[in-house]
Amino acid sequence: MFELPVKEIVIFVAVILLYLGAAVLGSLQLRPGGDRYKTVLTHLFALAVVLEAVMLIFRAISLGRVPLTGLFESMIVLTLVLGLIYLVLGMVIRQVWFSTTVAWIILILILLTAIIAKPAAEPLPIAAKPWAIVHGMAMILGTAMILLATVSAYVYLLGCRRLKQKKISQVLGKVPSIEKLESVNLVSLKFAFVFITIGLASGIGGVWMERESLGGSFGGWLIDSKIIAVGITWLLLGLILLAWRLRIIKGRRKAQTTIAAFFWILFAFVGAVLLCNTKHDFSSANLRLHIQSGESNPSSELSPSNQAVPSEESNTLNQAVPAGQPESSRESNP
């Protein structure tokens, strides 16, 4: 995080403190009389979203294009989208457990973002292609929908547990109705599946069209760790929706598998970058790292800049020695 420019460090630290304050106030809401923190909590979310937008604007100005080329920018956009979703849904879902869960999930995400924070790197020209922008935004929106489904699933399980223990007073007014939570969970899963389908289709199709400029084989990109992890997420979401459609799973089981999908996509976004050797980065700095590790673009080997150019001294020597003269006489030729 401390590799960032000073102005970005100041903004990012302020964002962390705002989400930390939101998480603390969210927990205080659970106490008797905690409803009075609701307005302050909303203001903290709104201010954090504005600061994240300012940081992205600074990056867009410095890069001269949409800042979606690295994991850090993608995570900032993700937490920004989640903050906006909370501000919108908070007007409808006023129960404190919902806002508290959202606040803590965003805090966890922003702390993970601090681990992978990097200064803005000049993106490859391919990052400005329409398919690349569609791919990035679709994956971010899909992840945001999974996180929203996870929040509703967790609160659903909490409500079911409290009802089972007959703690009615700890549920009424603090947890949304079971039907509302099931509806939010299902709609979020459907949107997540649609967005991730668009993200995978646009990403794989774009890599196919730009495979020569990206370097390596198309198959090599398909077996990239991050692409495999996202593909498994897409498959898991499809199976959850199919099982719900066939009435194989519902209620608690669907909520539990939703939470499992959340942890898996968290690994796909962050873990695959930190723990696996992924090439899923479209910044020029990342490309240089791949070149140094031997993953250079095959087409670059044939470029004129990489071909050996005879020096002036060797040209002069070759002109002074007849073409048919033996090697030994070349060495002794004055």
The model's pLDDT over 116-144, given as tens digits with 9 standing for 90+, comes to: 888 876 666 666 677 778 888 888 888 88
CB of 279 closer than 8 Å to CB of 216: yes
The model's pLDDT over 258-282, given as tens digits with 9 standing for 90+, comes to: 888 888 877 777 666 666 665 555 5
Run of H or E residues at 58? helix 38-63
Q: How far is CA 153 from the centre of its chain?
A: 21
Rounded to 10 deg, the angle between the 38-63 and 71-89 helix axes is: 150
The model's pLDDT over 170-218, given as tens digits with 9 standing for 90+, comes to: 544 555 677 778 888 889 999 999 999 998 888 888 777 776 666 656 6
Is the pLDDT at 310 greater than 60? The verdict is no
* Residue 123 bridge partners (DSSP): 283
Q: For residues 2 and 8, give the distance between their C-alpha atoms in angstroms, rounded to a whole number.
A: 9
> Residue 175: its pLDDT value, please?
57
Higher pLDDT, 68 or 41: 41
Q: Give which of 173, 234, 171 is closest to 204, Cα–Cα.
A: 234
Reduce the DSSP state of residue 247 to 3 states and report it: coil
Torsion sign across C-alpha atoms 287, 292, 298, 302:
positive
Kindly indicate the confidence band of residue 307, based on its pLDDT and cuts at 50, 70 and 90: very low
Is the pLDDT at 158 greater than 50? The verdict is yes
Q: Give which of 94, 83, 103 is closest to 23, Cα–Cα.
A: 103
**Nearest 5°: phi and psi at 123?**
-75, 155
pTM of the model as a whole:
0.68
Mean per-residue pLDDT of the chain? 74
CB of 175 closer than 8 Å to CB of 183: no
Q: Residue 306 carries which side chain, given as an amino acid letter?
A: N
82-106 mean pLDDT:
83
Q: For residues 160 and 166, give the distance between their C-alpha atoms in angstroms, rounded to a whole number.
A: 10
CB of 254 closer than 8 Å to CB of 185: yes
First-to-last alpha carbon distance for the chain, in angstroms, is 62
Reduce the DSSP state of residue 17 to 3 states and report it: helix
Q: For residues 146 and 188, give the distance between their C-alpha atoms in angstroms, rounded to a whole number.
A: 6
Question: What percentage of the chain's residues is helix, strand, coil (to nearest 5)?
Answer: 75, 0, 25
Kindly indicate the confidence band of residue 248, based on its pLDDT and cuts at 50, 70 and 90: confident
